[in-house]
């Protein structure tokens, strides 16, 4: 009896501990984002703009204006015409659309971190994935959607996986540092796509873009134009869950996390470092490639030169902010989706270049990576610093 009681008590304290550790886990990212936004505001103010106006424009651009939404609802209830309501939801759904590739690329960077690898190559992997998906999407005709769409997505994943596998293999076999190599792969991907878009994959006109993909390869949209909200978002959520399951509930995930946390011990325990590094980089590439594919098939329907607005680089901030946990990545991706999506409105309304978001992202990375600064800024004593080695020196 008393044993049972003490066991219950033990469980209770453990629960409390868990809750407080959850608070701990959220405290730093939240404060980091807050600090990033404040400093971003300072930059805006220094460049002669009103940060409050700017952030208001950003908010309206990302969530929509409440008054317009209410008006849309009123029209709907009064007349049954949902046109205005749907249009009022445009900013919000557009933010979700923007968040979709972020979830994919964020996962691609996070899964790398879990294995102790820094995948800066998500950007190139996105490009290659998009090009592969587009190619299957426009070149094959007459397939039913049930085959064509998965095939096109698969092509994107395969292309990205190949692009990620190369630096993975070079790392595993030669110890060549993946940071430099993934960056080199990015540049090669840019040049390659330049060539493809001007040559073999160019649509018949003079612009360097691919033809539109077939309707049978498009990810279905939920609303009429101009709302572009599509199945891709839910696909991203599904993959976030799959990555979570893979990392924490399977033997393969156990190996990957072991290799990331202590490669020597992993080798001692009979795990293959080479296999796991190649596997992780391929998976990361596949996720990023899927992100590119989902963007083409669900949103753009074609690929042009400025196809990616830096999804792969934003992904680094997202993975760090999400503490390399798939669910954290989803939250961080949503945040940056809203920021990026709102920034376009901010640029047109307040005249502030969208690049301000990159500055904020860089600052967020700094704050997340240096919790001590947050602790010092906000005079918090209780933040426990979770030591995780993200990267190692050259070729070790």
Partner 1 sequence: MSNTNVQVTNLALEKRKRVSYGMTLLIVGVLMYLFFGLNTQAGVQTTFGLNVAGTQAIVIPDLIVPAQTTIYLMVAIIVFAGAYQLARGVKSTGLLIGIIAFTFVTAFLTWAAQDKSFNLTGMLSSSLVRATPIALAALCGVISERAAVINIGVEGIMLMSAQIAVVTASITQNLYIGLIAAILVGGLVAAFHAFLVIRFKVDQVVSGVAINIIGAGLTSFLSAKYLQSDTLNNSGTFPIISIPILSEIPVLGPTLFANNIIVYLMLVLVVLMHITLFYTPWGLRTRAVGEHPKAADTLGVNVYLMRYVNVIIGGMIAGLGGAYFTIGSVGRFDELMTSGKGFIGLAATIFGKWTPIGAFASSLIFGFADSLQVKLQILRVPIPSEFLLMAPYIVTMIILTGVVGRAIPPAADGQPYEK
Partner 2 sequence: MANVLELQGITKRFPGVLANDKIDIALREGKILALLGENGAGKSTLMNILYGLYKPDEGKIFVRGKEVEINGPNDAIELGIGMVHQHFMLIPVMTVVENVMLGVESIKNGLFLDREKVAKRIHEISEQYGLEVDPHAYIQDLPVGIQQRVEIIKVLYRSADILILDEPTAVLTPQEVEGLFKIINTLIKAGKSIIFITHKLKEVIAIADDISVLRLGRMVGSIEPSNATPQKLATMMVGRDVSLVVQKKVAEPKEAVLKVENLFVRDERQNMTVRGVSFEVRKGEVLGVAGVQGNGQTELVYALTGLLPVDGGTIELEGKMLHNATPRQILESGVAHIPEDRQRHGLILNFPIHDNMVLCTYYKEPFAHGVSLQEKPIFSNAEELIKQYDVRTPNIYVNVGTLSGGNQQKVIVAREFSRPIDLLIASQPTRGLDVGSIEYIHLQIIKKRDEGTGVLVVSSELDEILALSDRIAVMYKGQIMDVLDAKQATKEDLGLLMAGIHPEKTSKKK
Tell me which residues touch partner 2 (CB under 8 A).
Answer: 10, 14, 249-254, 257-258, 261-262, 264-272, 387-388
Query: Nearest approach, Cβ of 259 to partner 2 (angstroms)?
Result: 10
DSSP per-residue codes, 67-135: HHHHHHHHHHHHH---HHHHHHTHHHHHHHHHHHHHHHHHHHHHHHHHTT---TTHHHHHHHHHHHHHH
Residue 341 binds partner 1 (CB under 8 A): no
**Residue 250 binds which entry of partner 1, partner 2, none, CB below 5-8 Å type-dependent:** partner 2
Does the protein bind partner 1 through residue 366 (CB under 8 A)?
yes
271 binds, among partner 1, partner 2, none (CB under 5 to 8 A by kind): partner 2
Displacement of CA 140 from its chain's centroid (Å): 29
Under rule CB under 8 A, residue 389 binds partner 1? yes
State the Rg of the chain over Cα.
23
Residue 365 touches partner 1, criterion: CB under 8 A: yes
Per CB under 8 A, the segment of 54-62, 91-99, 193-201, 212-220 that binds partner 1 is: 193-201
Residue 195 found at the interface with partner 1 (CB under 8 A) = yes
Total binding residues toward partner 1, as defined by CB under 8 A? 53
The two three-digit tokens of residue 301, written as one number = 């329907």
Residue of the chain from 242, 355, 384, 386 that contacts partner 1 (CB under 8 A): 355
Length of the chain: 396
CA separation for the pair 31, 58 (Å, rounded): 19
Q: d(Cα 29, Cα 331) in Å, to the nearest integer?
A: 11
Closest to partner 1 by CB, 198 vs 221, is 198
320 binds, among partner 1, partner 2, none (CB under 5 to 8 A by kind): partner 1
Q: Which residues pair with 230 in a beta bridge?
A: 221
Distance CA 101, CA 341 (A): 12
- Residue closer to partner 2 by CB (options 349, 383) is 383
Query: φ and ψ at 221, to 5 degrees?
Result: -100, 155
Query: Contact at 8 Å (CB) between 116 and 261?
Result: yes
207 binds partner 1 (CB under 8 A): no
Task: Please classify residue 3 by burial: count the beta carbons closer than 10 Å to its beta carbon, then call 0-12 exposed, 13-18 middle and 19+ buried.
Answer: exposed
Binding window for partner 1 (CB under 8 A); candidates: 81-89, 190-198, 209-217, 328-336: 190-198
Summarize as ranges the residues that interact with partner 1 (CB under 8 A): 43, 47, 118, 120, 167, 170, 173-177, 179-181, 183-188, 191-192, 194-195, 198-199, 313, 316-317, 320, 352-353, 355-359, 361-363, 365-366, 369-370, 372-373, 389-395
């Amino acid at each position: 009896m008393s044993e049972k009681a003490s066991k219950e008590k033990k469980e209770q304290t453990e629960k409390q501990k868990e809750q407080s550790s959850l608070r701990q886990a959220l405290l730093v990212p939240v404060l980091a984002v807050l600090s990033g936004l404040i400093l971003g505001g300072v930059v805006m103010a220094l460049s002669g703009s009103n940060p409050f106006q700017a952030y208001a424009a950003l908010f309206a651009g990302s969530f929509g204006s409440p008054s317009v939404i209410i008006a849309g609802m009123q029209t709907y209830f009064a007349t049954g015409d949902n046109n205005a309501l749907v249009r009022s939801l445009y900013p919000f759904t557009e933010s979700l659309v923007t968040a979709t590739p972020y979830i994919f690329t964020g996962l691609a960077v996070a899964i790398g971190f879990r294995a102790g690898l820094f995948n800066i190559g998500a950007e190139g992997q996105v490009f290659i994935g998009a090009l592969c998906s587009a190619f299957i999407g426009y070149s094959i005709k007459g397939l039913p959607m049930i085959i064509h769409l998965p095939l096109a997505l698969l092509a994107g994943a395969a292309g990205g996986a190949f692009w990620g596998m190369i630096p993975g293999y070079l790392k595993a076999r030669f110890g060549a540092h993946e940071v430099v190599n993934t960056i080199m792969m990015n540049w090669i991907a840019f040049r390659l796509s330049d060539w493809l878009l001007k040559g073999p994959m160019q649509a018949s006109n003079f612009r360097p873009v691919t033809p539109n993909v077939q309707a049978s390869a498009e990810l279905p949209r939920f609303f009429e134009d101009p709302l572009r909200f599509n199945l891709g978002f839910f696909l991203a959520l599904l993959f976030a869950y799959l990555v979570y399951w893979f990392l924490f509930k399977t033997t393969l995930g156990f190996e990957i996390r072991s290799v990331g946390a202590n490669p020597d011990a992993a080798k001692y325990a009979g795990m293959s470092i080479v296999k796991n590094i190649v596997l992780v980089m391929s998976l990361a590439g596949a996720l990023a490639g899927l992100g590119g594919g989902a963007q083409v098939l669900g949103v753009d329907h074609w690929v042009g030169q400025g196809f990616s607005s830096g999804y792969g680089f934003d992904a680094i901030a997202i993975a760090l902010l999400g503490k390399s946990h798939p669910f954290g990545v989803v939250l961080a991706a949503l945040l940056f989706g809203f920021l990026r999506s709102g920034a376009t409105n901010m640029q047109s309304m307040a005249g502030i270049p969208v690049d301000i978001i990159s500055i904020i992202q860089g600052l967020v990375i700094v704050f997340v990576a240096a919790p001590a600064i947050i602790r010092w800024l906000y005079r918090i004593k209780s933040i426990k610093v979770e030591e995780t080695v993200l990267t190692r020196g050259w070729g070790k």
